[in-house]
Amino acid sequence: GDYNQKIDYVFKVVLIGDSAVGKTQLLARFTRNEFSIDSKATIGVEFQTKTLVIDHKTVKAQIWDTAGQERYRAVTSAYYRGAVGAMLVYDMTKRQSFDHMARWLEELRGHADKNIVIMLIGNKCDLGSLRAVPTEDAQEFAQRENLFFMETSALESTNVETAFFTILTEIYRII
Ligand code: GDP
Ligand code: MG
């Protein structure tokens, strides 16, 4: 949580990807350790914060969640402004959400700073029997595009902290 303490850095990280891939639940899991099955489509651009310590420095992560604007090109440039990190999220049980990663990446690269740290996230790894995206396909895409990559479950809390911690640590490392 956030404490009344000196903040050394504020890092803006944006979540992008198709609707229903689990962006809002990843954010809820990371910032509040919560999850809800019937999460409502997000309304209005919003962000949540979480303060953590990296290398003895206090870092406030300001994580932005899209607001039901997940249609192609509906996310405005204000959303990307000042972002130092981005998580490109797909649902590993929905092939289409992975196939759309290339256009989300193109849109991101069109708006964001060229040094932005990007992580590809295959969410819903708890639904292994319904997997539609092999890990190797995502690894290959991530390698080609120079992205970090992790498979997560917001439901079971798998790799969620690790994913956010990894991207924030990398941002810290390169600033
Ligand atoms: P968003 O539109 O990308 O923000 O997606 P949401 O976070 O609203 O999640 C969409 C639906 O997927 C909701 O019913 C969530 O409960 C569900 N969901 C999100 N993350 C996971 C996960 O890791 N595993 C499973 N099984 N369901 C998830
Ligand atoms: Mg949402």
Q: Quick: pLDDT tens for 147-168.
A: 999 999 999 999 999 999 999 9
Nearest Cα residue to 87 out of 113, 63, 54? 63
Mutation to probe ligand 1, out of 16, 25, 126 (largest number of atoms < 8 A from CB): 25
Q: Is the pLDDT at 84 greater than 60, yes or no?
A: yes
- Looking at residues 71-92, what average pLDDT do you find? 89
ipTM above 0.90, yes or no: yes
Q: Looking at the CA of 46, name the nearest ligand.
A: 2
pLDDT at 136: 98
Residue 54 CA to its chain's centroid (Å)? 19
